[in-house]
Amino acid sequence: MVDNLNKETSKSLVSIIIPAYNVEKYIEKCLSSILEQTYTNIEVVVVDDGSTDKTGQLIDSVTQQDSRVHVIHKKNAGVSAARNSGIEMSTGEYLVFVDGDDCIAHDYVEYMLSLIENTGSEFCLSVCCYTQSGEKQTEREYVKILQPEDATALLLSPDVIVGCWNKIYKRSLIVNNNIWFSTAFFYGEGLTFITTLSQIAKSVGVGNRKVYYYRRNNESSATTKFDINKLHNGEKALINIRNQLIVNSPKVNKMLNLHLCLFSLGALVKIKSNRLEREYLKDYKRWKSYLRRNSILILFYGEISLYRKLLLLGGCLSPWIMMKLDKIRRRHISANSVGD
């Protein structure tokens, strides 16, 4: 359960930053969930990233109803630039990010602040979130304090859905260390951001309550549409993380290798699903080669689940079978995603 926040924490202003691009179907529900928080000392910074639908108008309407909401209308420059604009405008002691097509539980901010208070960390997260309709709350809650090595390995592992959301950050940790979202990346930018912060933070607080609703059936989302440039950019981001490691330990490198293998498998499946092997033959062969060369080592990692090992083994033996299984998985995800 969330402990009552002490007087000092309850005074803290929390800035909630929302990058929004063509999310007219979802933005009102997103903002409503934020403005109904049990913790009311918040400011909401919405960055309309050059939307061509009614997103901007809907945001403007909300700003007239609640003075805590501030909006930035700017030319489309991508999600990284949008989040950076939000950070620059924010004035809160703590920051959280919410995607414009998602929403949060009413106790999201209160819970995240409780993690800050209970761990004394500048960066906290929950490893769990709602992804399916009718999903139940975590039965057994815990709070852990991780050192940079363990936190970075966790964020690189498949145990946490990649993203800067479902987390809270002390603003000074970001600004004083000049850590911003890289505009060179539009896919993998969130992982780059959070793993950089996890490596420089004194500690990272981790809980497991579900307080974030992550939508997985938005067909216009950057994570659902096929674009070879996204795959190239995601690969570039992962290689950059590897090249820029601050905590360069065997544990971190194991999880990074696993992440790269799972990324390669996902790339193969996406190309095959769209029947583009011939068009992107060079890329296809490179990712297939990487997967086969590196997955063998992972089979000997005791901390990796049998499920993940079988996924990688299946990808090495038959990308076609994995593509068929992935189509079934994606249909299930779309049909059971947290709803409208």
Kindly report, residue by residue over 113-164, the tens digit of the pLDDT. Answer: 999 999 999 999 999 999 998 899 999 999 999 999 999 999 999 999 989 9
In 3-state terms, what secondary structure has residue 91?
A: coil
Q: How far apart are CA 240 and CA 245, in angstroms?
A: 8
The phi and psi torsions of 101 (rounded to 5 degrees) equal: -105, 5
- Residue 38 or residue 299, greater confidence: 38
DSSP calls for 199-223:
HHSS-EEEE----EE-----TTSTT
Beta-strand pair 14-20/42-49: parallel
Q: Which long-range contacts (CB under 8 A, 24 or more apart) does 318-327 make?
A: 319/265, 319/268, 319/269, 319/272, 319/288, 320/272, 322/265, 322/268, 322/269, 323/268, 323/269, 323/272, 323/273, 326/269, 326/273, 327/273
Q: Mean pLDDT across the chain, nearest whole number?
A: 93
Q: Which helix (H) or strand (E) holds 327?
A: helix 319-336
* All CATH 3.90.550.10 domain ranges in the chain, comma separated: 7-213
Q: Does pLDDT of 240 surpass 50?
A: yes
Write phi, then psi, for 197 (nearest 5 degrees).
-65, -40
Q: Does domain 7-213 have CATH number 3.90.550.10?
A: yes
Radius of gyration (C-alpha) of the chain in whole angstroms: 20
What confidence score (pLDDT) does residue 202 get? 97
Which two structure tokens, joined as six digits, stand for 25? 């179907």
Q: What's the pLDDT tens digit per position in 169-190?
A: 999 999 999 999 999 988 899 9
Q: Would you state the pLDDT for residue 1? A: 44
Question: How many residues are there in the chain?
Answer: 340
pLDDT at 218: 65
Q: What is the pTM of this model?
A: 0.92
37-55: pLDDT as tens digits: 999 999 999 999 999 999 9
Residue 4 has pLDDT above 80, yes or no: no
Q: Give me the mean pLDDT over the 213-239 stretch.
A: 83
